[in-house]
Amino acid sequence: MSDSKPTSNTSAPHEDAKTQTTCGGCELLCEDLPVRSIKSGTGCTAADKWFGHGDPLPQTTIDGKEVFLNDAIHEAAARLLSAQRPLLTGLASTTLDAIQIACRIADCIDASVDANDYENLILTAPTAIRVGRVSADLEELRDRADLVIFWGVDPSMKSTRFIERFIKPEPHNGNRRTISVGMTPAVTPSSYNLHFPVPEEQHVSLARLVNAHLAQKEASVSSPDGLDDIAHQLHQFIDAARCVGFVSTQPAETTGLVKWSLSKLIQSLAHQKPCFEIPLNQRASSEGGNLAGIGAVCTWHFGSSGAIPRASSSGSMFLPAEADAQHLIKRDEVDCIFIVGRIPRQIKGLLAEDSGSKTVIHITDESNDASFKNSIRLACASLSASTKGSMLRSDGRLITLRPFETACLPSMQNILDKLLDRLAVHTRNEGST
């Protein structure tokens, strides 16, 4: 039970409701979504999933039994404090302010922290840290790039508005050509939209071959049949372009070599002409689009973007592919999982396999998420329709959310604040005894 029990999640809109709202469904954080389209279908599959949660209202429960919110917060604090190895995860569906409070909670309970960002799963650590990245904002891609090369195409990109918003509009300097490198084309092939069906395992060789063509050197690698011809064609198109944008997505491999080789190629090209990478790091889903915000807040708070084995505001270790959420859960190295917001689907899958040995504490606006044994669910107001605050777009731009429904439940931030207060009381009491 919430402390005051509402009956419906759909209430009268604010008097000052705007006709357009911000969608937090993926890292693009579109600010132009018509409010009237939310119920009837937005035209974006990922947005429909993002807004399609929370009706009927989520319930606050302890081990499956409905309880008052304050009782659940009290119990959640006790279980977090008694955990030997807590893990803080989720976070991508929440605001920057909420993430900051969650980080302070992690600090209080010495939790591991990882939001399940792909780059924290890469063995050799994020590409930007290793080799640097020449990047630009999304509007720069839209307005300046007369050649866009999709380097590996994540099929889930097609369920977002990326192509509609940033590829279809003509650039300021004329027509735009696109080239898809990967097994599926990002854009329907035509004379201006080419497709080179190169499997991911050849992407490193292809990047090195294009680099060799640029440097007018013999490639030092033997390449599969036809790859050198593709490299030659790519080189010619790049040569003819005024500004080149590479759009990269998450490769399946986790050594980091695909991303590394592409970054090196872009670095070389950027010495010759405007050239940059737009990394789309997140698979579209309903888990929320604030991964860049998590990276920024965690880096500011702990010194690294995630994969943090033990939170400490005085500096934490960064152990990619070691202390990331998935590895910690798989290796049974956590006994309590504190999930803030929508659950990343990989984490949901891992928890479904767990026999109930782990405590799950989940602050959620989801009405239909899996209920876990040994769990506390703290129901919060809709993250997609009623939450105020800001998120960071994948290119680092600050985006303000524009709630269009009155909240019927306490906000995520409010619940986190209360939980932090409760933990502080416990900690003070312990200190005085």
Query: Binding residue for ligand SF4 (CB under 6 A) from 9, 38, 50, 247?
Result: 50
Residue 47 within binding range of ligand SF4, rule CB under 6 A: yes
Q: Which is nearer to ligand SF4, 161 or 203 (CB)?
A: 161
Residue 246 within binding range of ligand SF4, rule CB under 6 A: no
User: 285 with 47: CB under 8 angstroms?
Assistant: no
CA distance 152 to 248: 6
Size of residue set near ligand SF4 by CB under 6 A: 14
Q: Which is nearer to ligand SF4, 28 or 378 (CB)?
A: 28
User: 347 with 325: CB under 8 angstroms?
Assistant: yes
- Restricting to residues 125-184, which ones interact with ligand SF4 according to CB under 6 A? 160-161
- Restricting to residues 288-307, which ones interact with ligand SF4 according to CB under 6 A? 289
CB of 49 to ligand SF4, least distance (A): 8
Q: What does the per-residue mask of binding to ligand SF4 show for 58-87, with x meaning CB under 6 A? A: ------------------------------
CB of 395 to ligand SF4, least distance (A): 13
Residue 29 within binding range of ligand SF4, rule CB under 6 A: yes
CA distance 418 to 34: 34
Query: Binding residue for ligand SF4 (CB under 6 A) from 2, 9, 38, 44?
Result: 44
End-to-end, the C-alpha distance of the chain in Å comes to 34
Q: Which is nearer to ligand SF4, 38 or 76 (CB)?
A: 38
Query: Binding residue for ligand SF4 (CB under 6 A) from 23, 62, 73, 278?
Result: 23
- Restricting to residues 378-417, which ones interact with ligand SF4 according to CB under 6 A? none
CB of 47 to ligand SF4, least distance (A): 4
CB of 28 to ligand SF4, least distance (A): 4
Q: Which is nearer to ligand SF4, 93 or 116 (CB)?
A: 93
Quick check: bond before 56 cis, omega within 30? yes
Query: Binding residue for ligand SF4 (CB under 6 A) from 2, 9, 21, 33?
Result: 33
Residue 342 within binding range of ligand SF4, rule CB under 6 A: no
What residues make contact with ligand SF4 under the rule CB under 6 A? 23, 25-26, 28-30, 33, 44, 46-47, 50, 160-161, 289
